[in-house]
Amino acid sequence: MASPPEHVEANRAAWNARADEYQRKHGQFLRGDAWGTWQIREAELGLLGDVAGKDVLELGCGAARFSIVLAARGAYCVGLDYSERQIEHARSLGADFPLIHAAAEDVPLPDASFDVIFSDHGALSWGDPSRVVPEVGRLLRPRGLLVFNVTSPFARMCLDEEAGHQIDELLRPYFGLRRIDEGDGAATYNLGYGEWIRLLLANGLAVEGLVEPQPPEGATTTYGIPVEWAKRWPAECIWVARKQA
């Protein structure tokens, strides 16, 4: 078994330390059946399809609000997160399905276990995609669905770190964004569009769609993205890919 990447334990420590504050700040905003910064309903986007009777894995589930809703709709859900404190929050919210404490780079589950794998700013951001995507390919059944939401490269390139939000200027190059230092050894990952496509295809996952959500009328967020900025440039990318037979 390959040794875990250096960032894994640092990310675990970071999320254990920040979980309570994260839930306090964002918990009332998160709807459970909605995607990302603007909490656009899954019913509107229709990315996961009918999950009733399907085996579904949420990678980087946090408090598992999304999976709790899907389970109520008949999905057989499993949540995975490497933060013990986030898993405690999931249990406190009523998650009564399996919650696995593990890194997404090395999932302790058998091959071809799931019909659907999804992540909303979870393990495809906080895990190394070069390790996580092969795990997704292994875990999905033939014709299984992967849907994941990650920060757009535009949001990274336009982030004014001193101001704490995006501005109308490219402040860093598109190429080479890949690993982003989050302090104390923790890291997130941000790939370019072409790099995502190549990585998915290399692991038997064909891209079926890419959604770049714009804030709807009257949108607010607790995540600090300026609404007017996000009306002009994408803050997020929701990728849809399918495991080939």
The pLDDT tens digits of the residues spanning 109-160 come to: 999 999 999 999 999 999 999 999 999 999 999 999 999 999 999 999 999 9
* C-alpha closest to that of 36 among 92, 118, 99, 114: 118
Taking only the tens place, the pLDDT of each residue in 151-163 is 999 999 999 999 9
46 vs 42: CA distance, rounded Å: 5
Say what the pTM is.
Answer: 0.95
Is there a domain that residue 2 lies in? no
The domain spanning residue 73 has which CATH number? 3.40.50.150
* C-alpha closest to that of 200 among 153, 241, 140: 241
State which residues form the domain around 94.
7-243
Mean predicted lDDT score pLDDT of the chain: 95
**Per-residue confidence at 7, pLDDT binned at 50, 70, 90?**
confident
Taking only the tens place, the pLDDT of each residue in 24-56 is 999 999 999 999 999 999 999 999 999 999 999
Structural domains of the chain, count: 1
Segment 192-215 mean pLDDT: 98
* C-alpha closest to that of 210 among 182, 234, 229: 234
Is there a domain that residue 1 lies in? no
Written in H, E and C, the secondary structure of 217-238 is CCCCCCCCCCHHHHCCCCCEEE
